[in-house]
Amino acid sequence: MCGIFGALDAPGEVHVERALDALRHRGPDHRSFFADERAILGHARLSILDLSAAANQPMVSADGGAVLVFNGEIYNHHELRRELVAAGHVFRTRSDTEVILEGYLAWGDGVVPRLSGMFAFAIWEPRARRLLLARDRSGKKPLYYARRGRELRFASEPKALFASGLSREVDPSHIPGLLALGYVHAPNTMYVGVHELPPASTLVVDDAPDPRVRAYVASPVLGATSHDAPRVATAKVRALVEAAVVRRLEADVPLGAFLSGGVDSTIVVGIMQRSTGRRVRTFSIGFAGDDRYDETRYARLAAAAFGTDHTEFRLEPSSFDLVERLVWIHDAPFGDSSAIPTSVVSRLTRQEVTVALSGDGGDELFCGYQRFVASEMAEAVPRLAREAGWQLASRIPAGRSDRTLFAKAHRFFQHARRPLAARLLGYYPYFASDLELLLRGDFARSVDAAEPLSFTEAVLAESRGRSTLRRILDHNYRTYLPYDLLVKTDRSSMLHSLEVRAPLLDNDLVAYAATLPDHLKRRFGLKWILKRAFRDLVPEEILSRKKMGFGVPLGAWFRGELSTYLRDHFTNARLFEYLDRAYVDALVRDHMQGRADHSQRLWLLLTLEIWLRSFGRSPGSD
C-alpha cells in the first residue's frame, strides 16, 4: 500500500517532495520520484511484497519506454506473470508492481480489466507522450486529479495536490450533496478544480485536446441472473470466498484480521485460520458503557472457536481527540462516525501487523442491511396503506434512540410513501428530507439542492427493468460502498500505515454474487446463501444474531461528556455562512433534551465545521 503523486505539463515549480511528504502516512518506507521534461511521477512506499530495493517505485521498464507508480495489491499477479513469461517477458523482481508494468507493455490499456485487486496507478510513456491513470473496480484505492489548462496533477489524496503548489479553495456547490448523503461522490470533491476519478475508470492524456475518462467495466450487479440450483450456488459461493481469502494471505510482513463478531469477518478469520495452520492475530474494538454498540462478546466467541491470538480494545469518549486528525486525513467533512473506531482499531492493530483482512463487502453483495429489504417491501405495500401508516407513525415522537423497534417502524413508513430514489435517499441519516430548511436562503438559491436526488435517480435509471432488490443493491454498490465504506476504511487505516484487504470484494466473487437471484440473498433472513455456505464454520450464536452494525454511541456522548465540545464548535461557527443558524440550534436543543436522536446529523455538521476552520491554517498541523 502506498501513496502516489504526479504532474504533467506543469508550467511552474512543482513541490514534489512536499507532496510525497504529505503522503508519508501511506508510504513510510521509501520515497522517490521520476522526472523528465514533461512529467513527474512520485511514490511513497509501504513495503508489503518483495521488500527489496529493486521493487521500489517509480518503476521504469527495462527499455525505458514506460514508468509506473502504483498504490495497492494485485492478487492475480502470479497468473498474469506466468502468462507474460510464456510470451517472453523477463522479470527483475517478485513484485506485483512489475506485473502491471510488463502487462501494460504487452496489452496496453487492456491490462486494467485483467487486474484483480485494489489499485490506483499511473503509467507514463515518455516517447509516446501518453499518461494513463486507472482505479480498481470497487473503488478501494483513491485517486484525485486537477486540470489547469494543459497541466494535470494527480495524487492519492488531495492534500498532496495542495502540498505540491496548487491553491486550496472551498467548492460550496457540493455542500447539498454532502449534507444529504454524508459524502461527496465522484467526480466531485469539496475543492475547486479537484476531481475524483470514479471507480472502474481510466483517464488518458495524450495528443487529444482534453483528458478522456472512461469506464472499463460495467456494474456487475446488472449482469444476467444465474439459474444454479441453491445447492450448487451455495457450493460456488463457498469456493469463491475461500479462494478470495487465500489469495489475500500473501505478504512479506506480519498479517492479521479485524474481527467484529459479525458473520462476514468471522468467515474471513475462520478461513484464514484453517488455511494458514497457525494462530491468526485478530483485533476488535468495543465501547465503554453502551452494550448496544459493543460486539466484543461475539468477537471473543469467534476468537475462541478458531483459537486466534485475539486483542480487544475499548473506546471512550476521549477518542474524540482524534476527530480533527480524521477530518484532515479525509480531506473533507464526512458523515460516517464509525471512522472513529476504525481509526483506533487500525492504530492499535498496526502495532502488531502491517496487513489486516476485513469483512467489508459482505453486506453489499449478499443483502445484509435491513434498509434494503424495507425499501423493497415498500414497493409491495399499496400506496394508501403506506400513507396511512405514516400518518399514524408521524404522530408519535421518534425518541432518543434510532435503534428501537418503533424508530425503525417510524423510518419505514416515513420513507415507504416516497418513490424509490427518494426512499433510498431518505435512509441516509442526514438531511435529504429537510435541505430546504437547513440551507440559508441566499446560499440555497446559488446551488442545486436537488442534485443528490438527481444523482440517485441517474444511478437507478441504469438498472431499470431489473428487480427492485437488484436495483437497490446496484445503487448501494456504486454509491455507499465506494464513497462511504471504502473511503472510511482506506483513510482510517492508511493514517496509521496499515493495509486492509477485503476478500469479499474479490472480482470473481462479486461477479458471481451479482448473478444470484434475490431469494437466495434474503431467504429466511438477510445474507441467506452466505450463511448457508459457512454454517459449519461460523458459530451458531453468530449466525443467528441480529445485525448490529459498526456504530458509535454518539447520541449519549453528545448529551454527556461531549456536549460542551459540540456546543463550542457551533458557537460562531463558519458553517453558518451556508446553513441556517436557528435550524441547527434547534437540532442541538432537541437532541440534548432527548426529543430526538440527531447524533449522525450533528456529527456531519461537526466535521463540516472543523474542515471549514482548517482553511487559513495548515491542515493536519495539530
pLDDT, tens only, 537-587? 999 999 988 776 666 788 888 998 889 999 999 998 999 999 999 999 999
pLDDT at 393: 66
Domain ranges in the chain with CATH number 3.40.50.620? 221-366+476-543
Cell readout for 390 is: 405514516
Listed residue (247, 200, 238) closest to 79, CA to CA: 247
Domain ranges in the chain with CATH number 3.60.20.10? 2-217
Q: Determine whether 50 is exposed, middle or buried from the number of CB atoms within 10 Å of its CB (0-12, 13-18, 19+).
A: middle
The angle subtended at Cα 341 by Cα 556 and Cα 506, nearest 5°, is: 135
| Catalytic residue status for 2 | yes
Residue of 1, 2, 105, 166 marked catalytic: 2
What residues of the chain score a pLDDT lower than 50? Answer: 617-622
Beta-bridge partners for 151: 148
Alpha helices in 439-506 (DSSP H): 441-444, 451-461, 468-478, 480, 486-494
133-145 burial: b if 16+ Cβ within 10 Å, else e = bbbbbbbbbbbbb
Decide the pairing of beta strands 151-155 and 39-45: unpaired
pLDDT at 622: 37
pLDDT at 612: 97
Listed residue (562, 561, 550, 559) closest to 286, CA to CA: 550
Distance CA 614, CA 609 (A): 9
Distance CA 48, CA 71 (A): 11
Listed residue (607, 598, 608) closest to 555, CA to CA: 598
Per the CB < 8 A criterion, the answer to whether 76 and 115 are in contact is: yes
The angle subtended at Cα 416 by Cα 412 and Cα 418, nearest 5°, is: 140
Listed residue (295, 260, 197, 248) closest to 77, CA to CA: 248
Task: Give the architecture-level CATH label for domain 2-217.
Answer: 4-Layer Sandwich (3.60)
pLDDT at 388: 67
CATH code for 221-366+476-543? Answer: 3.40.50.620
Distance CA 606, CA 564 (A): 13
